[in-house]
Amino acid sequence: MSKKKRMGKGSYTSKGIVGHPRRARTSVGFKRLINQQNAWLAGKRVMLVVDKAGHKVEAREVWGLPPSEKMKERNANS
């Protein structure tokens, strides 16, 4: 005769979650975007991923010139 499975204490079933919860991952992505924007404002070369296929484009093509470089360009043309 086989034993019956015990219910209650000791019977733990994993939920299968590995790594960070979804909420934590989105905050990491947001921090990355803020860091990329700060680097772009400082005039550094920043690459952005523009689609799910992973194509990268320079931030100047998407966001344009940073304000500091726009000022330099205006002064040079005057």
**Span 4-53, pLDDT tens digits:** 666 656 677 777 777 666 666 567 778 999 999 999 999 999 999 998 89
Q: Which residues have a Cβ under 8 Å from the Cβ of 60 and sit 6 or more positions away?
A: 40, 66
Asked, for residue 43, whether it belongs to a domain, the answer is: yes
> What is the extent of the structural domain holding 66?
27-77
The burial of 48, by beta-carbon neighbours within 10 Å (0-12 exposed, 13-18 middle, 19 or more buried), is given as middle
- Between 42 and 1, where is the model more confident? 42
What value does the mean pLDDT take over residues 47-67?
Answer: 92
Domain count, the chain: 1
Q: Do 73 and 65 touch, CB atoms closer than 8 A? A: yes
Asked, for residue 33, whether it belongs to a domain, the answer is: yes
Asked, for residue 18, whether it belongs to a domain, the answer is: no
Q: How far apart are CA 76 and CA 33, in angstroms?
A: 31
